[in-house]
Copies of this chain bind each other. A is one copy, B any other.
Amino acid sequence: MLGAQGRAVHQCDRGWAPVFLDREQSISLMSVGFLLEKPDEAVVWRGPKKNALIKQFVSDVAWGELDFLVVDTPPGTSDEHMATVEALRPYQPLGALVVTTPQAVSIGDVRRELTFCRKTGLRVMGIVENMSGFTCPHCAECISVFSRGGGEELARLAGVPFLGSVPLDPELTRSLEEGHDFIQEFPGSPAFAALSSIAQKILDATPMCLP
């Protein structure tokens, strides 16, 4: 998605150097994908080995000064999530951004994730509904492919902020597929407006001074 496939992680004197996306080093990445010899290699790892790597990704990477550290986890409430929460606890993380799709099945998973956040003392920054409706590019009719509004309803019930809905958007999918810069190429798309508004709400609620 970020056009970083095939890039490798190097050792520097302060630890692992992350992969930088641009010359200004404004975005740096770390992923188990950078440590594999072949991209098809299966990471057939049990919990303890995964937990150890997650800890290393926090403590042994030369992150430098960061404005934000974003950890993208799989869905669920398992080893990965426990290890991440434990590794970040000393740094007082801002909280969890919980993403759901509108279906009842997904909402059920997310309710369990909210319980997990409560149990582990992780603040919920808010809920985002993804794949929320679709505007047909041929007739401009709006279609609820996966129903709609479940994320907002869930936020209301759980008493956490609802940050917005991101529509299905073939232009966004294509940009991610091809590693193109969606922000540069499709500034007028409905997904761009939705994502910008969500990012602004997170910034507004974040007690931090950006330069």
List residues of A whose CB falls within 8 A of some B CB: 1, 39-48, 50, 74-79, 81-82, 103-105, 108, 111-116, 119-120, 134, 136-139, 141, 143-147, 168, 170, 173-174, 176-177
Instruction: Contact check, B115 vs A40: say whether CB atoms are below 8 A apart.
Output: yes
Give chain B residues whose Cβ lies under 8 Å from the Cβ of A143: 136-138, 170
A42 near B119 with CB under 8 A, answer yes
**Within 8 Å CB of A104, what residues of B?**
177
> In the complex, are the beta carbons of A112 and B77 less than 8 A apart?
no
Copy tally for this chain in the complex stands at 2
The answer to whether A116 and B44 touch across the interface, beta carbons within 8 angstroms, is yes
What is the bound-complex CA distance between A145 and B134, given in angstroms? 9
Question: Are B103 and A45 neighbours in the complex by a CB distance under 8 Å?
Answer: no
If A39-B111, A47-B46 touch, whether A103 touches B176 (CB-CB below 8 Å) is yes
Query: What residues of B have a CB within 8 angstroms of the CB of A168 in the complex?
Result: 145
Which residues of B sit under 8 angstroms from A79, Cβ to Cβ? 46-47, 79
Question: Cα distance A127–B177 when bound, in Å?
Answer: 20
Q: Is the CB of B105 within 8 A of A176?
A: yes
In the bound complex, residues from chain B placing their C-beta under 8 Å from that of A134 are 134, 145
Closest B residue, CB atoms, query A43: B77
Give the chain B neighbours of A41 by CB distance below 8 A.
112, 115
Contacts of A105 in B (CB 8 A): 1, 176-177
Chosen A-B contacts, 7 in total, with CB atoms closer than 8 Å, are: A40-B111, A47-B47, A74-B74, A74-B76, A137-B143, A146-B173, A147-B177
Could you say which residues of chain B place their CB within 8 Å of the CB of A82? 44, 46
Please state if A112 and B177 are interface contacts (CB–CB under 8 Å). Answer: no
- In the assembled complex, which residues on chain B have CB atoms less than 8 Å from the CB atom of A138? 136, 139, 141, 143
Q: How far is the CA of A1 from the CA of B105 in the complex (A)?
A: 7
